[in-house]
Amino acid sequence: MTDQIPGIRHAGSHNFFLMAGPCAIEGEEIALRIAERIVSITDKLRIPYVFKGSYRKANRSRIDSFTGIGDEKALKILAKVKSEFGVPAVTDIHESAEAEMAAAYVDVLQIPAFLCRQTDLLVAAAKTGKTVNIKKGQFLSASSMSFAVDKVKDSGNDKIILTDRGNTFGYQDLIVDFRGIPEMRAFGVPVVMDCTHSLQQPNQSSGVTGGKPALIETIAKAAIAVGADGLFIETHPDPKNAKSDGANMLQLDLLEDLLLKLIRVREAVL
């Protein structure tokens, strides 16, 4: 189902596709370094790839948390990744007015999970003509996402992806209900598993989100086994010193080995 993402390489591959990169755009040098490494791996393994990076982080617990390096500066870095490596890019938007701005730089507009019911935001993203990746709200059932899909389609855009990122479990944890993947695939759109945000531990007393990155492989294997079309993985060369969401990101050096394992899982279930 990679035909939903124009310009993606290895579209004819039988592999899952990958959305991966840093949580936030921290600077040009590190963004290009991460992209170069992932492109090298995914080209070797023939995995269709979309570079991920948030130009701004709007949903933060504390006012002193890192939110970005400036919208235009970060969006230009996303555009440079695209031009240098020939891969599509995805970034999230938070308000309707941002859709047209971000669409000038990236190929996929991502709707954050907490905003997946915001009609004006979905319609604005749809009207850009870009692919719209809607993250399932932690507070919603998989079946409820049919309404988000309909909002984008009814706005004249059928390039839609749905991404699961777990369900709220108490106040400080998330749990993944893997039944949701086939439920959402039944809507006729590609479904992605967010393997890193689904392992967050939000609402910590410190105001900094925790995570369980040791379970990324477990979540990814299970998602592929039940039919996920793609995986979303935030990765960084030094997660402990990442400026955003380091507690649940994958160490970049571990990505290739993980993808090799997942290809074997994919081959076993096809």
Q: How far apart are CA 132 and CA 215, in angstroms?
A: 28
pLDDT of residue 112: 97
Domains within the chain, CATH numbers bracketed: 2-269 (3.20.20.70)
pLDDT of residue 212: 82
Q: Among candidates 27, 20, 38, which has minimal Cα distance to 90?
A: 20
Task: Round the CA-based radius of gyration of the chain to a whole number and report it.
Answer: 17
- For residue 108, the cross-strand partners are 90, 131
Q: How far apart are CA 71 and CA 251, in angstroms?
A: 26
Tell me, rounded to whole angstroms, the distance of Cα 140 from its chain centroid. Answer: 18
pLDDT of residue 11: 86
Task: Decide: 41 and 256 in contact? Cβ < 8 Å.
Answer: yes
Q: Give the phi and the psi of residue 5 in degrees, each rounded to 5.
A: -120, 95
pLDDT of residue 206: 57
Q: Among candidates 4, 6, 102, which has minimal Cα distance to 55?
A: 102
Return the sign of the alpha-carbon dihedral for residues 54, 55, 60, 64: positive
Q: Among candidates 197, 176, 111, which has minimal Cα distance to 149?
A: 111
Number of alpha carbons in the 13 Å side-chain half-sphere of residue 111: 32
pTM: 0.94
To the nearest 10 degrees (0 to 180), the angle between helices 216-225 and 255-269 is: 20
Number of alpha carbons in the 13 Å side-chain half-sphere of residue 44: 11
Mean pLDDT by 10 residues, the chain (270 residues): 85 93 96 98 98 87 76 97 98 97 98 97 98 97 98 98 95 94 98 94 60 91 98 95 85 97 95
- For residue 206, the cross-strand partners are none
pLDDT of residue 209: 59
SS3 content of the chain, % helix, strand, coil (to 5): 40, 20, 40
Q: Among candidates 198, 234, 216, 203, which has minimal Cα distance to 59?
A: 203
Task: Decide: 78 and 26 in contact? Cβ < 8 Å.
Answer: no
Q: Among candidates 195, 206, 197, 199, which has minimal Cα distance to 65?
A: 206
The C-alpha torsion from 68 through 73 and 77 to 83, rounded to 10°, is: 150
* C-alpha separations of 175 from 80, 197, 220 in Å: 36, 11, 14
